[in-house]
Amino acid sequence: MKALKYTTETVLITGASSGLGVEFARRLAARGANLVLVARREGRLQALAELLEASYGIKAIALAKDLAVPGAGTELQAELDARDITVTSLINNAGFANYTRFTEVEPRNLHNEIAVNIDALVELTRAYLPRFLERASGFLVNVSSIAAMQPSPGMAAYGASKAFVLNFTEALWAENRHCGVRILALCPGPTDTEFFHVAGSEKADGGMKRMEPEAVVTDCLKTLEKKSPPPSRVVGTSNGVLSSLPGFLPRRVVANAMRLKMDM
């Protein structure tokens, strides 16, 4: 597979107004990539776009979009096409959780969680992956989580959505392994971002030490830049060990252990 040349890339990043999204934008801009930054908070996006353009001499476009709205991904693609903006790579980073028992999650919040974590990710992947394959270049990064490796009491829908992202992305990797496009499911552990505020509890980290966004993105880019990237990457040695344990234990033991860990 050809080496990545960021200066020829225009990367669409969702969830780009905070956390991992901001860090991905900074790192890619520093490497010379142009960016399309997508999130709901227009003010933050515009400020970030202006900063990156001034700092690195790249082009950064800020587009405020609520990905929980049905058809938002298709609408986004149509808007970019109308502006003759060719997206060459995609980072599906947007996602959030509701930390509480499933029966206590407001139906609207649950709907939005699934819409952002799964529906928008699939829609954008379907919109852009064929174009990447036609050019036989670029990359697709779908942000999953170590929550994908086992049930997540207290964040039942979130863990399930990330399991979907992991399996979906690995399947795409297998389908298109020799087509010139790098496809990666990124599985970080708890990371020091606004995730916990949005989820509604600091306990959503299960008592685990949180990683810094810089470390997660560094690991992701190193993995992506390999000559033959794997279909998925668990970030952090300890996270890798913990993620492997469910494969050696009965499912009921794992589920109950996670219930205790998540204080449910």
Candidates 6, 56, 128, 158; catalytic one = 158
Closest CA to 146 of 8, 26, 246: 246
Distance of alpha carbon 128 from alpha carbon 112, whole angstroms: 22
| Residue reference for tokens 């829908």 | 157
Please say if 158 is a catalytic residue.
yes
Burial 119-138 (b: 16+ CB within 10 A, else e): bbbbbbbebbbeebbeeebb
Token digits for 192? 């020091």
CB of 260 within 8 A of CB of 224? no
- Name the strands in the sheet holding 34-39, side by side, starting at the edge strand that comes first in the sequence: 60-64, 34-39, 10-14, 89-92, 139-143, 182-187, 232-234
Q: Report the half-sphere exposure of 107 (CA within 13 A, side-chain side).
A: 0
Distance of alpha carbon 154 from alpha carbon 203, whole angstroms: 10
Helix (H, G, I), strand (E, B) or coil at 12: strand
| Residue reference for tokens 């344990």 | 245
Report the catalytic residues: 158
